[in-house]
Amino acid sequence: MSGWTIIGVGNRFRGDDSVGPYVIDRLRSRLPSSTPCIENNGDMTSLLDEWRQRRVCLIDALQAEDQATGAILRLNGLAEEIPPTLCRTSSHGLNLGEALALAGALDALPERLDLYAICGEDFSPNASLSAAVEDAARQVEREILEKLSLHTGGV
Amino acid sequence: MSKHKTVKVDYLARVEGEGALYIRYDDQHVHDVQLKIFEPPRFFEGFMCGRDYREAPDITARICGICPVAYQMSAVHAMENALELVLSAELHALRRLMYCGEWIESHTLHIYMLHAPDFLGYPSGVAMAKDHPQRVQDGLQMKKAGNAIVRLLGGREVHPINVRVGGFYRLPTATELAALRETLLPARDIAIATVRWAAALCFPQFERSADDAYEFVALSDPDEYPMNRGRIRSTQGLDIPVSDYDQHFRETHVKHSTALHSERVGRGAYFVGPMARYNLNYSRLSPLVQQVAREVGFPPFCANPFQSIVVRSLEVLYAFDEALRIIDHYCAPERPFEETEPRPAEGCAVTEAPRGLLYHRYQIDAAGKISNAKIVAPTSQNQKTIEDDLRLMLPQFMHLAADDLQAHCEQAIRNYDPCISCSTHFLKLHLDPVGAAP
């Protein structure tokens, strides 16, 4: 079975959008070097190489008016519909759904894709992480550690 | 009696940022063309004021996720111009290498994912990938090679952090450059194949008459294809130092857009970007690029904007060729950067972003705080030309069905690879609180 890769998507300098890199920073020191922890600033095309035939946990911020700040959406990225506001950092590139469609066309899909979308409220430049989003990030961090422990017999 | 018709595109697809298009026409005339930009203004120029001059490269890099290197390059060169600092040839070469990486990243994304679907009849790059997977793979491999350049020189591929006023924080090692070379060599071969493929596409015929001829504007330098230095030249005889930019180019506000429109003082619209660079600097392209251009029958001067995809592919090839030349002739600078001391000063710079001229001007005070900043992005300079293109080409396409007409208009806009996020800055904001003391 292939190994796990953790990907945190977001911009460190845009408030709640930094939640992906925030989780990556915290997990990096707690996971073995054989589990890549990759920060992605929004270049979705690079995901195709990073997740190809890997089992992936991907963390990103989500803008959703009908969800409370800090709410966590857990999705099976290969089976469920991807919210269009997930991973849309630039209209010049691809969003996550388009990246998955492209990966499908190019035989570059991950083996498994567990998405953790955390609902943010403030995405303005230089803003800090909202308290509720930070709590959610730590919850996601715990869940990922438990998941990897379950699948690998300890991390 | 002719009946009025409109083309209304609420959201332009496959361009950066949020823009819309409105055209009103009838059987005889085009009455109105508006490229609408309604992205909220970001006030980068405003919030730079009061910040340290050394922060400008990192702050401005965040204006755009597609061309952050361009913003860094214009910002550092403007600051170095203000402080009368001239970099060594070795540091200049590394800046140029980094810019090659950005041209590759930006142009390959545009060629394969944004523009090619127009020529091959697909609604998106993803749809195209299903039928042409190898083409898209080729584009992604070249982009990856561009990423590798920017990551090595800039510290990371998006929003790089290694550029500083006076040079770089860290220099690449010879071993790192040798590894990069191995990545670039096969990618250059793909770039040659890309030129051949792009030149064989079917292009709409669109040539302007002599009365409406474009004024192409680009940097031009006697020693190199332009990236970071040169004089500003045009096909209508303009030939000025960068310091005279504000005397010849002016931004104006138009009602239908939050982006300022730039125009040549006394002349009007002008055209910046790959075609302008190519047309004004063909002789400075490397022998390999000129050879491939000749091989595919592409002329040294091109005025059909639909063929900009070929020019971009030639510039991608040039960027790979130039990057390899720089690596092969690399001589490590004595120091990674030259020290700078702040003083009251004003400086400006123009560099060649993938989409064209990018002008920065700054004033700093004795403590090195930025007191004034001005940034003119390529897309705001091309906006009037884009609208003029649509106005002029529409009579040829009026007979088309509404969907086809809209597709042609969108393709015409994508010829310019507009970066609407970049172009969106705004008039100075005046807050006038009620009850404030006069």
pLDDT tens track for B151-171:
999 998 777 889 999 999 999
Tell me whether residues A89 and B65 touch, CB distance under 8 A. Answer: yes
Tell me whether residues B62 and A125 touch, CB distance under 8 A. Answer: yes
* Mutant choice from B110, B140, B151 vs A, greatest count of A C-beta within 10 A: B140
Residue type present at position B137: Q
The mean predicted confidence, pLDDT, of chain B is 90
> Which of B21-25, B93-97, B410-414: highest mean pLDDT?
B93-97
Sign of torsion over alpha carbons A139, A141, A142, A143: positive
Cβ–Cβ pairs < 8 A, chains A and B:
65
User: What residues of chain A have any CB closer than 8 angstroms to a CB in chain B?
Assistant: 11, 13, 41-43, 45-46, 48-49, 89-94, 98, 101-102, 105-107, 125
* Contacts A105 to B, Cβ<8 Å: 126, 129-130, 133, 136
> In B, residues 295-354, which contact A (CB 8 Å cutoff)?
none
* Contacts B18 to A, Cβ<8 Å: 91
* Contacts B126 to A, Cβ<8 Å: 94, 98, 101-102, 105
Tell me whether residues B129 and A90 touch, CB distance under 8 A. Answer: no
Say if B43 is an interface residue toward chain A (CB within 8 Å): no
Name which of A43, A46, A91 is nearest B17 (Cβ-Cβ): A91
Tell me whether residues B129 and A106 touch, CB distance under 8 A. Answer: yes
* Contacts B157 to A, Cβ<8 Å: 41, 43, 46
Tell me whether residues A106 and B137 touch, CB distance under 8 A. Answer: yes
Distance from C-alpha of A140 to C-alpha of A150, rounded to nearest angstrom? 15
pLDDT over 60 at B14, yes or no? yes
Say if B140 is an interface residue toward chain A (CB within 8 Å): yes
Tell me whether residues B159 and A92 touch, CB distance under 8 A. Answer: no
pLDDT over 70 at B434, yes or no? no
Residue B429: per-residue pLDDT? 33
Which pLDDT band, with edges at 50, 70 and 90, does B371 fall under? very high
Distance from C-alpha of B21 to C-alpha of B19, rounded to nearest angstrom? 7
Say if B50 is an interface residue toward chain A (CB within 8 Å): no
Instruction: Look at B343 and A153; give whichever has higher pLDDT.
Output: B343
Mean per-residue pLDDT for B176-180? 98
Residue B23: per-residue pLDDT? 84
Residue B421: per-residue pLDDT? 66
pLDDT over 90 at B10, yes or no? no
Torsion, CA B363, CA B366, CA B368, CA B370, rounded to 10: -30
Distance from C-alpha of B386 to C-alpha of B33, rounded to nearest angstrom? 10
Domain A4-152: which CATH class? alpha beta
Contact criterion met (CB below 8 Å) for B356 and B229: no
3 state SS of B356: strand
How many angstroms away from the CA of B326 is the closest CA of chain A? 26
Name the closest residue on chain A to residue B67, using Cα atoms.
Answer: A92
Instruction: Look at B91 and B417; give whichever has higher pLDDT.
Output: B91
Weakly modelled stretches of chain A, pLDDT under 70: 1-2, 85-93, 125, 153-155
Residue B2: per-residue pLDDT? 54
**What is the domain partition of chain A in residue ranges?**
4-152
Q: How many residues does chain B have?
A: 438
Residue B34: per-residue pLDDT? 85
Tell me whether residues A91 and B419 touch, CB distance under 8 A. Answer: no
Name which of B113, B125, B140 is nearest A48 (Cβ-Cβ): B140
Residue B437: per-residue pLDDT? 38
* Contacts A15 to B, Cβ<8 Å: none
Say if B18 is an interface residue toward chain A (CB within 8 Å): yes
* Contacts B410 to A, Cβ<8 Å: none
Distance from C-alpha of B236 to C-alpha of B380, rounded to nearest angstrom? 20
Residues B396-401: contacts with CB under 8 Å, at least 24 apart: B396/B206, B398/B25, B398/B27
> Which of A64-78, B10-24, B87-101, B417-431: highest mean pLDDT?
B87-101
Tell me whether residues A45 and B143 touch, CB distance under 8 A. Answer: yes
Instruction: Look at B261 and B423; give whichever has higher pLDDT.
Output: B261
* Contacts A106 to B, Cβ<8 Å: 129, 133, 136-137, 140
Phi, psi dihedral angles at B349 (to 5 degrees): -160, 150
* Contacts A125 to B, Cβ<8 Å: 62
Residue B228: per-residue pLDDT? 96
List A60's β-bridge partners, or say none.
A117
Which of A44-48, A129-133, B258-262, B387-391 is least confident? Answer: B258-262
Which pLDDT band, with edges at 50, 70 and 90, does B41 fall under? low
* Contacts A17 to B, Cβ<8 Å: none
